[in-house]
Amino acid sequence: MIDTTDHGWVYNPKSQPKGIVASGQEDTVDNARLTQIAGRYILGATDSLADDDPGMKSDRVDGYFLLDTQLGKRTTVQNREELQGAARALGIDLNLERIDRTYSRYRFTWFDKLADIVLIVPPIVLLALIALWIARVRKARDLSPPDTLMT
């Protein structure tokens, strides 16, 4: 989940109480600034002070995590080198990026694109058909002989 573009939360909605994000759970990460999704793992960097400056663009990072989404287990490490080692042990090349890029990449799927097409194409086709019908009616009206008055 991302409310601002510089940090967000990583969590499993199935394990959260209804309607809220409960921070501190084993499968929840608060204030993630950098993320990477690699198979069943989410790797990232956090900023414990991100909520102190809401909306402020910052690259400050003071913690790192590795989240196993299948087990719902978060491992916290102290620095990037430890995260690099943990990633390497899992066969993952560490390539963290800003959370808004990760969000954008995974937010829109083929279903969203299909929904866009279904919502946009039919009205355009309908408008085109109406325009063609109007043009045909006008052309037919222009070709008809004028009415003559008989006296």
> Strand 41-46 vs strand 29-38: parallel, antiparallel, or unpaired?
antiparallel
Is 131 domain-assigned?
yes
Residue 128: give the domain boundaries. 109-144
Q: Between the CA of residue 45 and those of 55, 60, 61, 111, what are the distances in Å?
A: 18, 9, 6, 30
Domain contains 149: no
In a domain, 34, yes or no: yes
142 phi and psi, to 5 degrees? Answer: -70, -25
Split into its structural domains, the chain has a count of 2
95, 121: one domain: no
Number of H helices, E strands in the chain: 3, 6
Closest CA to 28 of 50, 39, 44: 44
pLDDT by 10s per residue, the chain, length 151: 555 667 777 766 676 667 666 566 677 777 788 889 999 899 998 887 776 665 566 677 888 999 888 888 888 888 999 999 999 999 999 989 888 888 888 778 889 889 989 999 999 999 999 999 999 988 888 776 666 655 5
Burial class (CB in 10 A: 0-12, 13-18, 19+), 93: exposed
